[in-house]
Chains A and B, each alone.
Chain A
Amino acid sequence: DAKTTQPNSMESNEEEPVHLPCNHSTISGTDYIHWYRQLPSQGPEYVIHGLTSNVNNRMASLAIAEDRKSSTLILHRATLRDAAVYYCILIISSGSARQLTFGSGTQLTVLP
Chain B
Amino acid sequence: DAGVTQSPTHLIKTRGQQVTLRCSPISGHKSVSWYQQVLGQGPQFIFQYYEKEERGRGNFPDRFSARQFPNYSSELNVNALLLGDSALYLCASSPQGTDYGYTFGSGTRLTVV
Question: Which residues between 81 and 111 of chain A lie within 8 Å of chain B, taking CB atoms?
Answer: 85, 87, 91, 93-105
Interface core residue of A46, A49, A94, A98 (most chain B CB under 10 Å): A98
What total of chain B residues lie within 8 Å of the partner, measured CB to CB? Answer: 27
- Asked if B101 and A101 sit within 8 Å, CB to CB, the answer is no
Q: Is B56 engaged at the interface, CB distance under 8 Å to the other chain?
A: yes
With A and B bound together, what is the CA distance between A97 and B59 in angstroms?
13
Residues of B within 8 A of A43 (CB): 4, 90, 92, 104-107
What total of chain A residues lie within 8 Å of the partner, measured CB to CB? Answer: 26
Given contacts A97-B55, A102-B42, A104-B42, contact A42 B103 (CB under 8 A): no
Q: Is A68 engaged at the interface, CB distance under 8 Å to the other chain?
A: no
With A and B bound together, what is the CA distance between A34 and B90 in angstroms?
18
Q: Is B69 engaged at the interface, CB distance under 8 Å to the other chain?
A: no
Name A residues whose Cβ lies closer than 8 Å to a Cβ of B: 32, 34, 36, 41-46, 49, 85, 87, 91, 93-105
Known: A94-B56, A102-B35. 6 other contacts (CB 8 A): A42-B107, A43-B4, A43-B104, A46-B100, A97-B54, A100-B33
